[in-house]
Amino acid sequence: MAPDGNMTNGFKVVGTRPKRPDGIDKVTGRAKFGADATAPGMLHASIVRSPHAHAKILKIDTSKAEALKGVKAVVTRADFAEGLTGENWNILENVMASDTALYDGHAVAAVAATTALGARDAAKLIEVEYELLPHVTDVDKAMADDAPVIRAGAADKSVPEGLHPNVVRYHESGHGDVDKGFSEADLVVEDSFKTEATHQGYIEPHACLAQLGSDGKGEVWCCTQGHFNVQKVCAALVGTDSSQIRVTPSEIGGGFGGKTVVFIEPVALALSRKANRPVKLVMSRSEVFRATGPTASTSIDIKIGMTREGKITAAQGVFRLQGGAFPGAPMEFTAMCAFAPYSLENVHQVGYDVMSNRPKQAAYRAPGSPMAAFAVESVIDELCNKLDLDSIEVRLKNASKEGTKASYGPKFERIGLVETLEAAKAHPHLTSPLAEGQGRGVSCGFWFNHGGETAVSLALSEDGTVAISVGTPDIGGSRASMAQMAAEELGIPYESIRTTVADTATLGYNEISHGSRVTYASGLATIKAARDAVKKLCGRAAAKWGIDEDAVVWEDGCAKPSGPNAGDFEPLPLAKIARSMGRTGGPIVGHYEATPEGAGVSFATHIVDAEVDKETGQTKIVRYTVVQDAGKAIHPTYVEGQFQGGAAQGIGWALNEEYIYGEDGRLQNSGFLDYRIPVASDLPMIDTVIVEVPNPGHPYGVRGVGETSICPPLAAIANAVSNAAGVRLTELPMSPPRILAALDAQANG
Amino acid sequence: MSMIHVTTTVNGDEVEFLCDPRETLLDVLRDRLSLTGAKEGCGTGDCGACSVTVDDRLVCSCLMLGAEAEGKSIGTIEGMADGEALHPLQEKFIEYAALQCGVCTPGVLVATEALLKKNPDPTETEVRYWLAGNLCRCTGYDKIIRAVLDTAADLRKAS
Ligand code: FES
Ligand code: FES
């Protein structure tokens, strides 16, 4: 019979570091990304966007554009489905404005022409008449009494009476009695924090190639984290059935949450339907910045009480998140993650989802958690400094463990926070000397991780090799990990397995590659699909030997009699059974479809040394160490890569990256020159320690690793910079002007 | 708009094309010559994803016009491997997982090959500054830098 239950050691392939299957394609330029596809008769499209932060659209005149040579179709909101409600209405409103432009960059029309240059020329000829409306882009100002209303009636029932209509959702959670807790503290520290919006900054702009016929049948090729979601949303927005649209995901040039959202595919489909030709639509970098998902910006108040011995007696937080011109800022995640690392008797958190005239926020790696950690861990650092306590010891003293009632409600199962803190404590980084002008910071971070709808199929070939089809786009090497897990189960070499990200017509619905779910959920489904295939393989052997199925076991890639009583038969290798499968019952395919719910939460502890130049306000990160619980690292090199990538993005967010809006409500830095993500010369090597505390919800113990790595950096760096500068930094990014202002304010008392 | 006729060399092969005077070299490579290895990450010279060599000089192909390629010798990622034999840098990038999504990889490899031709023994700092024009959002650069330094060491040993 197939093996069952958890195995946590004795792995042969899991935990090794094989070459990725798409390696050669990626280093030779052959890999096909979103913008690399073409089709016969293809048109190119361009989108017209509002230059205003908030304006009524009075009139759109497309006649000049339509008269231009080579122009084949123009679409506006009238060319999309009518009568949508709920989230579909929100998405359509964002994809193509109806009567009001809600932010600088909001799409108002689109055009398709025979050449890319022609489409851009035509877009310039589309005349839009606007009536300017008052706008607001700052979260605190958007909540103030005199703020312009973005959309009346957008608030849901959770919002208490008396709040501004821009507050559209409200969250409250916690337990115990915080007032009582604060009264038991020897010291209470309270502070307020702000973080600016940042962009996911994937290097590949959104791109798609789409075709839609008047019969409602369509094809889409695009770079996305979730093609099944693209299928569902596109069908709704253009008014056809999901099953009529087939979506094939291209290779994806980074997403980090930003490609979980649909922006351009419905536009290309609508243009294609009108022109009756395939349409390619590729965003420019400036469109990516102006109109796709940045994070929420935040304004946060934190209050924490602590005893002289370092025990936290109470903690409370207020989290205001600005998520652009639509509901959905992840304020409940922010509130729920904020105090999750700590075992608290008294904790209370409040969240506000606030609308403003900015692009609709999108998920960015552990959405909402990094900002919470920044505020909370800064206050903990301040308490440690004031009470003269060791920051790791304080965290250990208060750390959440198995059985702790989490700040957001449930009881934790087996978790690895203490193990990451112990590993950090033992790391030479923590005791290495600091040079003049340098400061050290540590921080913990938390993310839930996610399971979600998942379907995998695993087909045997007659030559004994295996093809796995998964429905989760490979955003970080997951095709390698899937093949490793299948190789482990089947007992055949890694190289004999090829994993493909299948299109929407091939598999059942798969949720988006988000929530650090792929190695966990598609991995679990791959293991179960392999076990399903093994069961069938054992069945074929049993039939051949004329014994009971239960008397056959699978070991080292072979079916074997389960013991002397089962009979004496030569082991049957997979390849041998596969060769005759056509004659012994037909193709052998293992599959698994489910919504796994055992994604284990994960924690990390980061250590960082920063050097601050007090003359210029410039900060240099001189040393960085990531310690994170991976549950079980399937491919340790890719796990390290996730740790390093998250830390690097965190460094950018902490020090440099921000959305800058002018008085006119326009984004002032919509390019990589002015929105500067970390470059190679900005960063040190990033040291990693993989901690493995198995997740009981996965057969091998896997926890997601992609997101937790960005939770601690903002806080760890803020602590390092504050310790180096001798003044507490409470606003991100800690760019040179902000650091100089903080130093000035301190000098002037 | 009348088109411009251009004769040039790409990865050693003579190539002719017609292009609009406004088209960049990157547009021409991708849309007219079907060489989609070079990527457009920004179109403004800030990301390096479009890196190619022009007469052995490293350039952002998004900043050069297609028409300017006349009589030049262009090198792209598609010309880096020698038949089925990968360049040592390509091998090392796969081995070290110096790529996650891989969209920056063609540009990083072209830029790195140009560096090692100029300076076969670069320091870590020199590699970091040379690659400062090639944005990678996935890796944090750590594995890229290690792959470049170790390939350089291997090549020095071999020569
Ligand atoms: S596309 Fe040329 S530098 Fe970014
Ligand atoms: S590997 Fe994704 S941008 Fe470099």
A701 and A734 fall within a common domain: yes
Cβ pair A29:B143 closer than 8 A: no
A113 and A247 fall within a common domain: yes
Domain of residue A473: give its range.
Answer: 451-594
Contact A201, A176 (CB under 8 A): no
The answer to whether position A184 is within a domain reads: no
Which residue reads 């209509």 in tokens?
A: A165
Cβ pair A476:B136 closer than 8 A: no
Chain A hits for B93, CB-CB cut-off 8 Å, are 23, 27
A58 and A73 fall within a common domain: yes
The answer to whether position A381 is within a domain reads: no
Q: How far is the CA of A675 from the centre of ligand 1 (A)?
A: 15
Can you tell me the distance from the alpha carbon of A538 to that of A357, in angstroms, rounded to the nearest whole number? 61
Confirm or reject: Cβ of B122 under 6 Å from ligand 1: no
| The pair of three-digit structure tokens given for residue A262, joined into one six-digit string | 């649909």
From chain A residues 98-137, the ones with a CB under 8 A of any chain B CB are 115-117
- A69 in contact with B, Cβ within 8 Å: no
Can you tell me the distance from the alpha carbon of B6 to that of B10, in angstroms, rounded to the nearest whole number? 12
The answer to whether position A225 is within a domain reads: yes
Distance, CA of B154 to chain centre: 21
Low-confidence ranges of chain A (pLDDT < 70): 1-9
Chain B hits for A23, CB-CB cut-off 8 Å, are 93-94
Q: List, by residue range, all CATH 3.10.20.30 domains of chain B.
A: 4-79
Cα A565 to Cα A21, A552, A559, A561, A568: the distances in Å are 43, 11, 15, 8, 8
Chain B hits for A116, CB-CB cut-off 8 Å, are 27, 31
A433 and A455 fall within a common domain: no
The answer to whether position A407 is within a domain reads: no
Which domain CATH number covers A281?
3.90.1170.50
Chain A hits for B103, CB-CB cut-off 8 Å, are 33, 202-204, 251, 253-254
A551 and A655 fall within a common domain: no
The pLDDT of residue A563:
86
| The pair of three-digit structure tokens given for residue A606, joined into one six-digit string | 């980061």
The answer to whether position A191 is within a domain reads: no
Sign of CA dihedral A209, A212, A213, A217: positive
Cβ pair A252:B101 closer than 8 A: yes
Q: Which of B11, B20, B51, B101 to mutate to test the interface with A (most CBs of A within 10 A)?
A: B101
The pLDDT of residue A565:
85
Which domain CATH number covers A433?
3.30.365.10
Partnered with residue A210 across adjacent β-strands are A220, A279
The pLDDT of residue B1:
58
A435 and A563 fall within a common domain: no
The pLDDT of residue B156:
97
Chain B hits for A19, CB-CB cut-off 8 Å, are 94-95
Q: List, by residue range, all CATH 1.10.150.120 domains of chain B.
A: 88-158
Ligand minimally distant from the alpha carbon of residue B49: 1
**A95 closest CA partner among A270, A353, A229, A275:** A270
| The pair of three-digit structure tokens given for residue A133, joined into one six-digit string | 């409306």
From chain A residues 460-479, the ones with a CB under 8 A of any chain B CB are 475-477
- The string of pLDDT tens digits covering residues A575-634 is 999 999 999 999 999 999 999 999 999 999 999 999 999 999 999 999 999 999 999 999
**A24 closest CA partner among B98, B94, B135:** B94
Cβ pair B100:A35 closer than 8 A: no
Choose the CATH number for B88-158 among 3.20.20.70, 1.10.3720.10, 1.10.150.120, 3.30.70.360: 1.10.150.120
**Could you say which of A256, A645, A682 has the minimum Cβ distance to residue B139?**
A645
The pLDDT of residue A356:
98
Q: How far is the CA of B44 from the centre of ligand 1 (A)?
A: 6
Domain boundary among A271, A291, A311: A291
A425 and A455 fall within a common domain: no
Cβ pair B47:A681 closer than 8 A: no
**A400 closest CA partner among A420, A386, A383:** A420
- Residue of B40, B100, B144 to mutate, ligand 2, most atoms within 8 A of C-beta: B100
Cβ pair B101:A648 closer than 8 A: no
The pLDDT of residue A9:
65
Chain A hits for B96, CB-CB cut-off 8 Å, are 637
**How close does chain B come to A411, measured CA to CA in Å?**
34
Ligand minimally distant from the alpha carbon of residue A26: 2
The answer to whether position A27 is within a domain reads: no
Which residue minimizes the CA distance to atom 3 of ligand 1?
B45
Confirm or reject: Cβ of B22 under 6 Å from ligand 2: no
The answer to whether position A230 is within a domain reads: yes
Can you tell me the distance from the alpha carbon of A151 to that of A327, in angstroms, rounded to the nearest whole number? 10
Ligand minimally distant from the alpha carbon of residue A255: 2
DSSP-derived pairing of the beta strands A347-354 and A312-322: parallel
Cβ pair A680:B134 closer than 8 A: yes
Ligand minimally distant from the alpha carbon of residue A204: 2
Sign of CA dihedral A31, A32, A35, A36: positive
- Residue of B23, B58, B60, B64 to mutate, ligand 1, most atoms within 8 A of C-beta: B60
Distance, CA of A223 to chain centre: 15
Q: Cβ of A214: how many Cβ atoms within 10 Å?
A: 8
**Could you say which of A28, A35, A203 has the minimum Cβ distance to residue B47?**
A203
> Is domain B4-79 in CATH 3.30.2270.10, yes or no?
no
Q: Which of A203, A209, A649 to mutate to test the interface with B (most CBs of B within 10 A)?
A: A203
The pLDDT of residue A7:
47
Can you tell me the distance from the alpha carbon of A437 to that of A440, in angstroms, rounded to the nearest whole number? 10
Residue B94 has pLDDT above 90, yes or no: yes
- The string of pLDDT tens digits covering residues A9-44 is 689 999 999 999 999 999 999 999 999 999 999 999
Q: How far is the CA of B49 from the centre of ligand 1 (A)?
A: 5
The answer to whether position A158 is within a domain reads: no
Ligand minimally distant from the alpha carbon of residue B143: 2
In B, minimum Cα distance to A37 occurs at B36
Secondary structure class of A714 (helix, strand, coil): helix
From chain A residues 619-638, the ones with a CB under 8 A of any chain B CB are 637-638
Can you tell me the distance from the alpha carbon of B77 to that of B93, in angstroms, rounded to the nearest whole number? 14
> Which ipTM was obtained for this model?
0.98
Domain boundary among A559, A594, A629: A594
Q: How far is the CA of B53 from the centre of ligand 1 (A)?
A: 14
Number of domains into which chain A is organized: 3
- Residue of B47, B109, B137, B144 to mutate, ligand 2, most atoms within 8 A of C-beta: B137
Alpha helices (H) along A248-407: 265-275, 285-291, 331-338, 369-387, 391-398
A470 and A570 fall within a common domain: yes
A660 and A532 fall within a common domain: no
Domain boundary among A594, A619, A654: A594
Chain A hits for B36, CB-CB cut-off 8 Å, are 29, 32-33, 35-36
What are the counts of helices (DSSP H) followed by strands (DSSP E) for chain A? 19, 27
A616 and A725 fall within a common domain: yes
A694 and A635 fall within a common domain: yes
Give me Rg for the CA atoms of chain B: 16
A106 and A217 fall within a common domain: yes
**Could you say which of B47, B93, B94 has the minimum Cβ distance to residue A672?**
B47
